[in-house]
Amino acid sequence: MADLMPAVTYQIAFDLGTSYSAAYSDVKKKTVWEPTVMAFDRRKQRIVAYGSRAKSMIGFTPPYIEILQPLKAGVACDFDLVNPFLKFLTAQITGRRKLFVSRILVCLPYGTTSVEARAYRNQLQANFLTKVQLVRQPLAAAIGAGLDIFESKGKIVVNIGGGITEIALISIGGFVKCITLQAAGLAMDEAISNYLEQAYYFSVGYQQIEEIKIKYASVDETQINFPIQVKGMDRRTRLPRSLMIPKKALTEAITPVVDQILEGIDAVFETTTPEIANDIASDGIYLTGGGAYLPGWQRIIRDRFGVEVRIPREPELCIIKGLKKILENYGAYKEILEKAKSCVP
């Protein structure tokens, strides 16, 4: 007789992002971080790859394979796609154990409407047959960055994700002000791609653009400039070739996106009281999300606003780390979950 895996009661947290998603369960104490991408085979009428494997197929697929991205601006655009992706993430963090989920936390952007939030909750509850609770991304990011969000103290958290950037002024467990921008990682990728096409008639693949950004791009024009090599296709001849461009060109390409983020920070500062301004002058601004890795944020923010920038370790995982802390200290954070829940009638 085959051995049966014992049923286990556990908790799950999901951070669903436009470019990358994360999940955590308290059984395996495991966090997974995967691209929010799937590959659909039209011939077989089923999904054949998820996450990193699906992303590696971008640009190489035959006509019958379609690359799907189920989230846009951090919000599900098609739950028929989100559901299988959630099952994929769940399998990564729970293994073969029978599902008895006692609690699910889902992180949503600050600007998610009550209709969208209700749809998330209903879909997840239907899948897992358990209660789903919501928390807004900037709060989770602040908790994951190690901040005490309940202090009578103002804190600015700038979460630069793939699809959106959220700039939040947080105090006493709530939002004094929060701004959501489409200026984020994907907008930077698009800006670099457009620059290469317009300036050099040169096309570079989706994954290569992201790699170039991560390896060479900077938000600070005073960073050391040197020539870099990019490989792609000459649009005029349709032939492959290599191109040498100055590293500084990448900074120039993403400057409009960076300027939008700086203007968003400026708009949040306009709502501060003298007391909150004093707090931020002492503690600085916290950067989370994958976009925090780009070099130069410290200098350009300090020069413009006169405050320091603090970047936590593994900033791209701050949201899921925050959700993990909430699960581990549920009673302490129950208040913010109830506030998130209250927006979902």
Distance in angstroms between the alpha carbons of the first and the last residue of the chain: 48
pLDDT-based confidence at 99, cuts 50/70/90? low
Task: Tell whether the model's pLDDT for residue 1 goes beyond 50.
Answer: no
pLDDT digits (tens, 9 = 90+) for 328-338: 999 999 888 85
Query: Does any domain span residue 3?
Result: no
Task: Look at residue 345 in the predicted model and tell me its pLDDT.
Answer: 32
294 shares its domain with 328: no
For residue 227, give the 3-state DSSP assignment: strand
The residue ranking higher by pLDDT, 180 or 123, is 180
292 shares its domain with 154: yes
115 shares its domain with 92: yes
Task: Look at residue 342 in the predicted model and tell me its pLDDT.
Answer: 39
112 shares its domain with 192: no
Task: Look at residue 123 in the predicted model and tell me its pLDDT.
Answer: 76
Q: What percent of the chain has pLDDT over 90?
A: 70
Strands annotated E in the chain? 8-15, 20-25, 30-35, 38-41, 46-50, 65-68, 71-72, 75-76, 99-108, 132-136, 155-160, 165-171, 174-181, 202-203, 227-234, 239-246, 285-288, 309-310
Task: Look at residue 98 in the predicted model and tell me its pLDDT.
Answer: 60
330 shares its domain with 252: no
Question: How far is 97 from 110, CA to CA, in rounded Å?
Answer: 33
151 shares its domain with 136: no
Question: How far is 287 from 336, CA to CA, in rounded Å?
Answer: 21
Amino acid at 181: L
Going by their DSSP bridges, the two strands 99-108 and 132-136 should be labelled as parallel
Query: Does any domain span residue 323?
Result: yes
Section 204-232 average pLDDT? 91
- The model's pTM is 0.91
Query: Does any domain span residue 196?
Result: yes
pLDDT digits (tens, 9 = 90+) for 101-124: 788 899 989 988 887 788 778 877
pLDDT-based confidence at 244, cuts 50/70/90? very high
186 shares its domain with 213: yes
Give the phi and the psi of residue 198 in degrees, each rounded to 5: -80, -40
pLDDT digits (tens, 9 = 90+) for 77-90: 677 788 889 889 98
CA angle 97, 102, 104 (to 5 degrees): 95
Task: Tell whether the model's pLDDT for residue 29 goes beyond 50.
Answer: yes
pLDDT-based confidence at 94, cuts 50/70/90? confident
Nearest to 162 by CA among 51, 290, 257: 290
Residue 50 burial by CB count (10 A; 0-12/13-18/19+): exposed, middle or buried?
buried
For residue 302, give the 3-state DSSP assignment: helix
Question: How far is 95 from 45, CA to CA, in rounded Å?
Answer: 25
Task: Look at residue 170 in the predicted model and tell me its pLDDT.
Answer: 96
Query: Does any domain span residue 1?
Result: no
210 shares its domain with 302: yes
Section 28-36 average pLDDT? 91
Residues of the domain holding 21:
8-140+319-342
Task: Look at residue 111 in the predicted model and tell me its pLDDT.
Answer: 84
Task: Look at residue 299 in the predicted model and tell me its pLDDT.
Answer: 95
113 shares its domain with 248: no
Q: What CATH code is carried by the domain that includes residue 21? A: 3.30.420.40
212 shares its domain with 136: no
Query: Quick one: how many helices (H) and strands (E) in the chain?
Result: 11, 18
Mean pLDDT value across the chain: 89
Query: Does any domain span residue 2?
Result: no
pLDDT digits (tens, 9 = 90+) for 114-161: 877 887 788 777 776 677 889 999 999 999 999 999 999 999 999 999
pLDDT-based confidence at 344, cuts 50/70/90? very low
Task: Tell whether the model's pLDDT for residue 341 goes beyond 60.
Answer: no
Query: Does any domain span residue 291?
Result: yes
89 shares its domain with 66: yes
Task: Tell whether the model's pLDDT for residue 224 goes beyond 90.
Answer: no
pLDDT digits (tens, 9 = 90+) for 247-305: 999 999 999 999 999 999 999 999 899 999 999 999 999 999 999 999 999 999 999 99
The residue ranking higher by pLDDT, 8 or 68, is 68
25 shares its domain with 63: yes
Question: How far is 158 from 169, CA to CA, in rounded Å?
Answer: 9
Task: Tell whether the model's pLDDT for residue 2 goes beyond 50.
Answer: no
Section 182-196 average pLDDT? 96
For residue 291, give the 3-state DSSP assignment: helix
- What total number of domains does the chain contain? 2
